Amino acid sequence: MPHSQIDRRTFLAGTAATVLSSGVFAASAPARSTFVAANEEVRVAILGAGWRGGQLAEAFSTANGCRLVAFADPDETLSKALAEKYSATAHSDLRKVLDDPNVDAVVISTCNHWHCLATLWALDAGKDVYVEKPLSHTQWEGRQVVNAAAKSDRIVAFGTQQRSDPLQAKAKKFLHEEKALGKIKYVQANRLGTRASVGKRATPLKLPKTTDYDLWLGPAADQPILRDKLHYDWHWDFNTGSGEMGNWGVHILDDIRNVAYQDSVTTPKSIVAAGGRVVWNDAANSPNVHFAFFETETFPTMITISNLPRTPNEKANKKGKQRGWSVRAGMPVDGPASGYVVVCEGGYYLGQRHKGRAVDLQGKTIQTFKGGDIVPLHVQNFVDSVRARDAGMLNAPVEMGHHSTGWANLANIAFHAGATYNRGQLDSAASLEAWPLLIDEMEQQLAPFNVKPDQLVSSPVLKHDPATEQFVGEHAELGNQFLKRTYREKFVVPEISKS
Ligand SMILES: NC(=O)c1ccc[n+]([C@@H]2O[C@H](COP(=O)([O-])OP(=O)(O)OC[C@H]3O[C@@H](n4cnc5c(N)ncnc54)[C@H](O)[C@@H]3O)[C@@H](O)[C@H]2O)c1
């Protein structure tokens, strides 16, 4: 297959010291790299062959203009299983894939702590990238990816598939062009879905020999794993994951940035939050109850997250699901359990994955919106953009992903910065009438679990400058310490200058 050839390592020039500390580029990267020309088949490898890797493999295997050629996962039972299913090559080490000139594009569906380093390595190896949400584990490393992507001529897409839903354009037209519900006052978002304890072991989890744990850990700190499972539940350990705020929260906040703000707001100008990991007493540390208020240059957004069922004894339905919490905060209808409400002067737009609904001030439905088959659409949009060599075609370009992830990263920072729960301080953080109503509801829903509000932590208002991506003002130091992490020596995320 003929491929055009270009010089590689454009954006990493000048950062050799940091890059070499990763030990990868000097030793094994190919001397030249290629990119796919128009109408050529894109040869795709999936890095991270877990739950999402399997879903994306299915979508890429049926997309037009691409072919799955390799899988990598430090748990080689997983990469082998998917490789066998799709007649592709299996690797344990992603660097083998990055060294392979027969791979044009990589999909990064690893755990969150690997997203940025894997993206930077992939760009340096000349690959196009589809990276899952959240873009980053810290806001600083996301910025390095944005800088690197801007300097490269590679296509870098972000995995928030709702961006490819035609529903979003219809909702925006309804809200902003037709102004069908009048002026937007604020947004109230929820992820109220139940989960369970991850367990709490007395001795660290032993891993099978088929897993290269050093590679799995990558940039994260080497800490004993005291939960019951290695896979998936890393989400709830801040060493590797970003909690529910950085999981479902990113999808919902990204929808809000798109539909309500029309991408006019990058990140918030202040954040205040409260939360805690309550009831379960397990080995995880991310909050299972978390609520936050984001102030922006235009209207504010509030978000609530809970992984608890409605009551301690809530029975599961036939599908094994329990009912989660609900939030009204002064509205005539419950907000979607997984979605957001754009609260307008003349009614409410209730947005969810796959659907939307507008109701009047009394809660009566006035219009419904139906979504498309978003994962295949999103994957096809990436493949088409790669073949056209046109990042401008992407429905979810990486910088957009950086900003949407930023909202979740900020809410997590406010949780980390939290101390003794201070209801008075929380109330006075915002003048919006619905904010104390929402806090009341969160507190009331904890009561049946015998959880008192003072078992949560709360933050002061952290002022943030979207232009510099730094906290400013009285609590600047409190917030800024969480913008970047310390990396393990072999897996340092390099600093990439803007120009
Ligand atoms: N867009 C969506 O709707 C959506 C849905 C689910 C998950 N996700 C995202 O996908 C990612 C994976 O989530 P999941 O649910 O599949 O978790 P998972 O634990 O099932 O899979 C993650 C996999 O990555 C592997 N991995 C770790 N380090 C790696 C490395 N260096 N190279 C290659 N693989 C490595 C792990 O061994 C594991 O198999 C997460 O970032 C998650 O946020 C997105």
Output the six-digit token pair for 333: 């209808």
Residues 122 and 254 in one domain: no
* Stretch 37-44: mean pLDDT: 84
* Stretch 461-489: mean pLDDT: 98
CB 250 within 8 Å of CB 160: yes
Q: What is the pLDDT of residue 2?
A: 30
Residues 117 and 244 in one domain: no
Tally of domains within the chain: 2
Buried b (16+ CB within 10 A) or exposed e, 65-78: ebebbbbbbbbbeb
Residues 133 and 12 in one domain: yes
* Stretch 207-219: mean pLDDT: 95
- For residue 410, pLDDT beyond 90: yes
Please give the distance, rounded to the nearest whole angstrom, from the Cα atom of residue 213 to the centre of ligand 1: 15
Residues 336 and 421 in one domain: yes
Ligand 1 contact via 109 beta carbon (within 6 Å): yes
CATH number at residue 422: 3.30.360.10
Residues 106 and 183 in one domain: no
Output the six-digit token pair for 478: 């409190």
Task: Name the phi and psi angles at 437, rounded to 5.
Answer: -65, -40
Q: What is the pLDDT of residue 39?
A: 67
Residue 6's pLDDT band (cuts 50, 70, 90): very low
**Where does a domain end: 338, 362, 397?**
397
Residues 58 and 182 in one domain: no
CA-closest residue to ligand 1 atom 4: 52
Around Cβ 399, how many Cβ atoms within 10 Å? 20
Please give the distance, rounded to the nearest whole angstrom, from the Cα atom of residue 297 to the centre of ligand 1: 34
| pLDDT tens-digit map of 140-163 | 999 999 999 999 999 999 999 999
Residue with tokens 């219009």: 367
Ligand 1 contact via 231 beta carbon (within 6 Å): yes
- For residue 477, pLDDT beyond 80: yes
Q: What is the residue type of 346?
A: G
Residues 77 and 148 in one domain: yes
Query: Which ligand 1 atom is at minimum distance from the Cα of 217?
Result: 28
Task: Name the phi and psi angles at 291, rounded to 5.
Answer: -140, 145
- For residue 32, pLDDT beyond 70: no
Residues 46 and 153 in one domain: yes
CATH number at residue 56: 3.40.50.720
Residues 128 and 192 in one domain: no
Q: What is the pLDDT of residue 128?
A: 98
Output the six-digit token pair for 431: 């003048």
CB 62 within 8 Å of CB 37: no
Which residues are bridge partners to 293 per DSSP?
272, 302
Residues 304 and 356 in one domain: yes
Ligand 1 contact via 232 beta carbon (within 6 Å): yes
Query: Which ligand 1 atom is at minimum distance from the Cα of 54?
Result: 16
Ligand 1 contact via 96 beta carbon (within 6 Å): no
Domain containing 441 equals: 165-199+233-370+403-485
Query: Which ligand 1 atom is at minimum distance from the Cα of 250?
Result: 43
Max alpha carbon distance in the chain (Å)? 66
- For residue 331, pLDDT beyond 80: yes
Please give the distance, rounded to the nearest whole angstrom, from the Cα atom of residue 108 to the centre of ligand 1: 8
Ligand 1 contact via 94 beta carbon (within 6 Å): yes
For residue 483, give the 3-state DSSP assignment.
coil
